[in-house]
Amino acid sequence: MEQMRFIISSGYFHIGSCTSMSAGLAASVSRGALLDPPCLAVFQHSIGSRDMAHSTAEETALLTEYLEDSAQTVWTIKQSALGGRGLFASQPIKNGTLIFKNNPLVTAARADRAGDTYCCVCYKNRDTCYNCDKCFLAICSEECKLSSEHEAECTFIINNWKPKSGSGKHSEVLKIMQIYLRFLLLTDKQKKLLSVLQKSTSDTKIPELDTLCSRYEIPNDQISFIKFVHSVIKINSFRIASNPDKKKVPLRGLYPLSAFLNHCCVPNTRNVFDNDYSMAVYATKDISVGEEIVTCYTGILWCTPARRCQLYKTKQFWCMCERCKDNTEMGTKLSALKCFNKECVGILLPMSPLDQRAEWSCDNCGTKVVPEEINAIQSILGSLVGSLDLDDQFRLEPAILARLANFIPYTNHIFIDLRLRLVLKIGFTQGLKLNELSESRLALKESLCRGTLRTVAALGVGDAHLRGLLLYHLHAALAERARRLPDLYEELKSEIESTIEQAYYILQGDISAPPDLELRRRYLGPGCDKPQEERFFILDA
Ligand SMILES: C[S@@+](CC[C@H](N)C(=O)[O-])C[C@H]1O[C@@H](n2cnc3c(N)ncnc32)[C@H](O)[C@@H]1O
């Protein structure tokens, strides 16, 4: 499960075939104290219902090793009406509370990044990377080569994976298989923890395993274990948020307690990843006793067909949550298409969103459209968006945007995604820094932030990561305006302060948080006693 935290990678989906963008989720486990007795009992009970050969007490004890500061647990594991087991609030949890923090059992680079030039030890993208002369894993320096991590992996490969003659060495396949290598290197005790987690029931092929086997002689028991690990990580791994400034390859990880978080399209938590890749789960709204603690495995702003399709494809279930049931998605109309009747100003919405075979109908003229036609339009939209140069926001071809506007209203998730991309780029791209923006672009940034914040609020996801990010960008636009026109400062002061304060509250401690978050809060947040001109020095820096 990965949480791409907000960017929708819009519209690259074809509803009919369910091909789509990567989804996301995340979680956390904590280290230290024992679970309290009720938690322990329920955990034992719930995992006891699985076909496990191992002692549940041992597994429970093992789980606690990955929990940080679990002396005061506010959660319990029990059967969920959503599916399998889930985490539930064992006491009232206030918005903003740290629910738990867990360390990963294993982390590794995402398989789709194997083509990148990155070091298999420090994960840094570096041109200096070379293949280890013994095992052929990519490393970037003598320091990484001599690290205990590399030594263990290198020794394992040399001792266990005998190269087949004439097969050549393939560092790319080794990179993809590194996550399995790391599972193979776990202790027997750690491996037992895996048996507690839900597994994929689909017989998914691992093409890289075939490639590996064509290059090396791999013992049969290791092949079986790799297949088993694959079925576990397919369902339970999280995409780890990254800091683009650190120039590291994106990672995924398996977090023992986070793996118990079920999905809801209106989650009540956000995931915060630290530099050490620990994952903390915070409440994004008040959670009452007995309520399930849920995360979102997809992007929050994806439309219902995209979310449901992705969940089915990757996590093997059809979501039936309240948001999925509501064809307007809490009034946001993220899925809406323009009515096919050219004379009509209405929009098409699914008549029965939980049924992919149901017709869509126009809210104005009542025209009905069969799902095959909707799928065809969605595919065209996917191709159109795919042809946009999204990295060059001011050259987004007007002709393509105009064609998009023929099919979709501005509430559609594709436009919302494009707006979000603009928000993140305007003021934060080389040549388009905040102090270089024209007045109209600054105003555009502000209004895009406000509009997207309204959509996020309507969805009811509380203090989600995305809200924090949008507040940060709104703050940045307002502060820039006040810096240019000091006379406006008094008028804008309270919003400048409250936006950075709320953004800080949501984003603090996260590896992907804007680097100047703390500095901005110190100089432009509430309670700063510096004179006005000094407050803005941070923006000139
Ligand atoms: C990471 S696991 C969550 C914990 C899992 N329920 C268990 O018992 O171990 C993800 C799996 O839980 C189930 N699940 C999670 N959220 C769900 C939902 N909203 N509806 C149905 N099943 C869900 C699906 O089987 C999914 O593949």
ipTM comes to 1.00
Q: Does residue 521's CB lie within 6 angstroms of at least one atom of ligand 1?
A: no
What fold does the segment set 37-104+255-295 form as a domain?
Answer: Beta-clip-like (2.170.270)
pLDDT tens digits for range 199-209: 998 877 898 99
Q: Does residue 235's CB lie within 6 angstroms of at least one atom of ligand 1?
A: yes
Region 188-197: what's the mean pLDDT? 89
State the chain's maximal CA–CA distance in angstroms: 76
**pLDDT beyond 80 at 454:** yes
Q: Does residue 316's CB lie within 6 angstroms of at least one atom of ligand 1?
A: yes
Residue 272 DSSP SS3: strand
In this predicted structure, what is the pLDDT of residue 1? 45
Region 230-235: what's the mean pLDDT? 95
Ligand 1 atom at minimum distance from 197 CA: 9
Confidence of residue 341 (pLDDT cuts 50, 70, 90): very high
Q: Whose CA is nearest to atom 9 of ligand 1?
A: 198
Could you tell which of 317, 318, 322 is best to mutate to test the pocket of ligand 1, judged by most ligand atoms within 8 Å of the CB?
317
Nearest to 12, CA basis, from 312, 348, 317, 380: 380
Q: Does residue 293's CB lie within 6 angstroms of at least one atom of ligand 1?
A: no
Plot region of 434 (φ>0 → left; ψ -120 to 50 → alpha; else → beta): alpha
Domain boundaries, the chain: 37-104+255-295, 107-232, 426-540
**pLDDT beyond 80 at 135:** yes
pLDDT tens digits for range 9-23: 322 223 333 332 222
Alpha-carbon distance 463 to 55, whole Å? 39
Q: Does residue 312's CB lie within 6 angstroms of at least one atom of ligand 1?
A: no
Determine what percent of the chain is predicted with pLDDT higher than 70: 85
Q: Does residue 259's CB lie within 6 angstroms of at least one atom of ligand 1?
A: yes
Alpha-carbon distance 329 to 186, whole Å? 43
In this predicted structure, what is the pLDDT of residue 432? 87
Kindly provide the b/e burial profile for residues 167-191, where b requires at least 16 CB atoms within 10 angstroms of the residue's own CB. eeebbebbbbbbbbbbbbeeeeebb
Q: Does residue 279's CB lie within 6 angstroms of at least one atom of ligand 1?
A: no
pLDDT tens digits for range 415-449: 999 889 889 989 998 888 999 999 999 999 999 99
How much is the mean pLDDT over the chain? Answer: 85
Distance (angstroms) between ligand 1 centre and the Cα of 470 equals 29
Plot region of 330 (φ>0 → left; ψ -120 to 50 → alpha; else → beta): left
Distance (angstroms) between ligand 1 centre and the Cα of 467 equals 25
Ligand 1 atom at minimum distance from 315 CA: 27
Could you tell which of 198, 279, 293, 322 is best to mutate to test the pocket of ligand 1, judged by most ligand atoms within 8 Å of the CB?
198
Distance (angstroms) between ligand 1 centre and the Cα of 83 equals 5
Determine what percent of the chain is predicted with pLDDT higher than 90: 67
Does the global pTM surpass 0.90? no
**pLDDT beyond 90 at 105:** yes
Q: Whose CA is nearest to atom 4 of ligand 1?
A: 260
Distance (angstroms) between ligand 1 centre and the Cα of 164 equals 40
